[in-house]
Amino acid sequence: MSISRPVNNLSDNDSKSSKVIETLPTRKAISQIIRDRLVASGDPFFANDSIAHHISDTEREELKKEIEGKLQSMFDSLVIDTANDHNTKDTARRVAKMYVDEVFKGRYHPMPKVTDFPNAKELDEIYTLGPITVRSACSHHFVPIVGQAWIGIVPSDRVIGISKFNRIVDWVMSRPHIQEEAAIMVADTIENLIKPKGLAFVIKAQHMCMTWRGVKEPETKMVNSIVRGSFRNDPYMKKEFFDLIRAHGFGD
């Protein structure tokens, strides 16, 4: 009498291999690894926060690869034939690199090195810098914010080279922002570095979320100012600052 048995197409070795494969842990996406690290540290990671101190150079390259893949999925959902369209064939890679290394570099790259010096001559007069070109992106729509900024300083014990102000502004602004918060963050960064007796910071910028979409108003600009220390407490000093920057293009 024959006994029928169920046929098993897997050899013992195949069966063991499949079990090993099933139990192998799946590596987390690099973005999730970075996110978990940030959550564990308690550090915020809003759009306008710098997270550079939580990312290594190698991880930054991995992150660009991950972003590239997700951008490609977005283009697929937009029904763009990137496989055959020579204009968009490499767009996902270019945009990923642009976000991480250029327009949002203030999130993913450390602040430029800034060396301060003693105020040997004990300077206590106002000096201004500007216009400084401002480039950022609206955190609501991820479209450009472009404009100009002016800085006023009444120095205290420490000073920095004037080009460093441009670098600080560029680093802070190279993140998704709303303009009001961006101005505060620039002022905070400068204040923490040199602790001036007086600090003033003004931004005048055009927002593409208004000119390119929505109301499509090409002439409107937003202006906001931060005044601290001597500029806040002394109305004559505040007036002198605004008179100086008007003479150098603010208000045109």
State the CATH number of the domain containing residue 36: 1.10.286.10
Q: Which of 87, 108, 129 is the last residue of a domain?
A: 108
Q: Indicate whether 156 and 234 sit together in one domain.
A: yes
- Do residues 164 and 210 make contact, with C-beta atoms less than 8 angstroms apart? no
- In-domain check, residue 3: no
Residue type, 217: E
Do 147 and 226 sit in the same domain of this protein?
Answer: yes
**How many other CB atoms are found less than 10 A from the CB of residue 130?**
21
Instruction: With respect to residue 2, please indicate whether it lies within any of the assigned structural domains.
Output: no
What are the residue ranges of helices labelled H in 78-159?
A: 91-98, 105-108
Average pLDDT value for residue range 110-118: 95
Q: Are residues 126 and 228 in the same domain?
A: yes
Lowest mean pLDDT among 7-16, 110-119, 176-185, 238-247: 7-16
Query: pLDDT per residue over 122-157, tens digit each?
Result: 889 999 999 999 999 999 999 999 999 999 999 999
Can you give the pTM of this predicted structure? Answer: 0.87
Q: Is 37 left (phi over 0), alpha (psi -120 to 50) or beta?
A: alpha
Q: Classify residue 3 as left (phi > 0), alpha (psi -120 to 50) or beta.
A: beta
The first and second tokens of residue 58, run together, are 């190698």
41, 94: one domain: yes
CA–CA separation, 170 vs 136, rounded Å?
9
Whether cis (ω within 30° of 0) applies to the bond prior to 25 is no
Closest CA to 229 of 152, 157, 167, 135: 152
Cα gap 41→60, rounded to integer Å: 19
15 lies in some domain:
no
